[in-house]
Amino acid sequence: MPPRELTFWRLMYESAACADWVLSLNVEDVDMARDRGRVTRDGAVRWVRWQDVTTRRLAELAEGRPRGPLFLADRRPAPARMPAAHLGGYVRPRTPPEMTGESQATA
């Protein structure tokens, strides 16, 4: 099993937290010294706790990343879902002829 999935399921088991709490954890929300992560829901701060072995795995998973989602997807989004900037820049929408003053025959 890939390290990301192994760490995710171990964290789910040890913390008994729901999946959306665990998946909402960001690198900056994790307190490695206290084996816990901060989750904010409806303005209330909640803590997800786990064992020290999982903390070591989380540290490896987040290595070199100061912020962002703790559990990154292992693949890039499909081209249809990627922002235009990733497809080579801004794609200018076609302006309707009635807005440019052109006749329908030239459009």
pLDDT band at 106 (very low <50, low <70, confident <90, very high): low
For residue 105, the number of C-alpha atoms closer than 13 Å in the C-beta half-sphere is 0
Structure tokens of 7?
């760490």
The reply to whether 13 falls in a domain is yes
Work out the angle at residue 62's Cα, subtended by the Cα atoms of residues 59 and 63, and round it to the nearest 5 degrees. Answer: 80
The reply to whether 100 falls in a domain is no
The reply to whether 106 falls in a domain is no
- Bridge partners (DSSP) of residue 105 are none
Share of the chain above pLDDT 90, in %: 22
Number of domains in the chain: 1
pLDDT digits (tens, 9 = 90+) for 14-65: 999 989 898 889 999 999 999 999 998 888 898 999 998 999 999 988 888 8
Give the CATH number, domain containing residue 88.
Answer: 1.10.443.10
Mean pLDDT of 72-85: 64
Q: In what order do the strands lie in the sheet with 30-31?
A: 30-31, 36-41, 44-49
Q: Give me the domain span that covers residue 79.
A: 3-95
The reply to whether 65 falls in a domain is yes
Whether pTM > 0.75 for this model: the answer is: no
CA dist 6 and 12 (Å) reads 10
The reply to whether 58 falls in a domain is yes
DSSP structure class, residue 26: B
